[in-house]
Copies of this chain bind each other. A is one copy, B any other.
Amino acid sequence: MPALDLSATSVDLTRTICDIPSVSGDETPLADAIHAAVQVLPHVDVYRDGDTIVARTDLGRAQRVAIAGHIDTVPINGNVPTRDILIDGEPYVWGRGTVDMKAGVAVQLKLAAELADPRVDITWMWYDHEEVDADLNGLTRLARTRPDLFAADFAILGEPSNGTVEGGCNGTLRAIVRTTGVRAHSARSWVGENAIHKAAPVLSRLAAYEPAAIDVDGLVYREGLNAVRIGGGVASNVIPDLCEIEVNYRFAPSRDAEGAEDHVRNVFAGCEVDIVDLALGARPGLDAPLAREFVAAVGAEPRPKYGWTDVARFSAFGIPAVNYGPGDPLLAHHDEERVSFAQVDAVEQGLRAWLTGR
């Protein structure tokens, strides 16, 4: 098992943990490395559940902050191991996970080791399976097995936000849109009905779809509706009787579950639509005292978070939560994913300053 040196720089730690592949479902080697590195720290209690690791100070402070980051990534596409690159003279770490969100995790690990005496108690949470079904998410599991560990007055998710505070998040819904037909030999196709051809209007509606931009508590949330997967076919000489299109709808936090579902069913009116996953968004929540204080300390104008993040989970527990991490969210999941050294350092300094009050 590779050993993590938590006294290294956050940039070094970013490289190290990105080079331990941890695509959703394969987090164990990285979780083992994190577990080994934090369980020797004298100032935290460590709890592990599967590949989720919680490290908690218990200093009797008046307030407690949860600081969390997921350790999984989307599939690698030739972009691991990481390498250093220069863009306009600026150094970056390039590779899968640098933005979403191992640089954020690296900063958290470094500060977890360093801050033996923060001004608030801290619950550090590193968790698995964020990039896949909400059911598999390490925090979903933890909320069931150890809900007490979620106790906090404020939560910071280290999701990439360009080092500014991003409030709330969009919700996300996945659905399967199905078209059906009748199998036949492809040499006599007129006897069958081609389910893949019937998917033409579904894809045309998606291609023509104009997503909304919705103002919620002063922040404007852009929505999106996309096919993320398509599949159909029986054999090379058979007219297919089924085509499935998986769509992902990202919706503003002002919509509830029913509103989101109705919208998708309306877009695909006339098709069989099966909702397979739905996670509500979170309103910005920037009026909470600790949130206001944190925003002021970090100093930049808060912005809306487009991606669904686990702020929604804390929000559901009644805990105000924001996103704050290094990396441009536009580059998350991108083949050219990369994070600037400067942004990693800035987030490290921002968090350290607020957590130590110095």
Identify the A interface with B (CB < 8 A). Answer: 24, 74-75, 77, 100, 131-133, 170, 172, 174, 182-192, 194, 196-200, 203-204, 206-207, 211, 222, 224, 226-241, 243, 245-246, 248, 250, 277, 306-308, 329-330, 332-335
With A186-B226, A188-B306, A204-B204 known, 10 other A-B pairs at CB within 8 A are A74-B238, A131-B235, A170-B187, A184-B330, A188-B329, A190-B211, A200-B200, A230-B231, A231-B233, A236-B277
The smallest C-beta distance from A159 to any residue of chain B, in angstroms, reads 10
Bound state CA distance, A172 and B236, in angstroms?
A: 11
Contact B196 A245 (CB under 8 A): yes
Among candidates B185, B189, B190, B200, residue contacting A100 with C-beta atoms closer than 8 Å: B185
Kindly report which residue of chain B lies nearest to residue A189, judged by CB atoms. Answer: B224
Bound state CA distance, A133 and B236, in angstroms?
A: 8
Bound state CA distance, A206 and B232, in angstroms?
A: 15
In the A-B complex, the 6 residue pairs with the closest CB atoms: A229-B233, A187-B307, A200-B203, A196-B227, A185-B333, A189-B224
Among candidates B133, B203, B334, residue contacting A183 with C-beta atoms closer than 8 Å: B334
Kindly report which residue of chain B lies nearest to residue A308, judged by CB atoms. Answer: B187
The smallest C-beta distance from A341 to any residue of chain B, in angstroms, reads 22
The smallest C-beta distance from A197 to any residue of chain B, in angstroms, reads 4
The smallest C-beta distance from A6 to any residue of chain B, in angstroms, reads 28
The smallest C-beta distance from A254 to any residue of chain B, in angstroms, reads 16
Bound state CA distance, A228 and B181, in angstroms?
A: 12
Q: Which residues of B contact A226 (CB under 8 A)?
A: 186, 189, 194, 196-197, 239
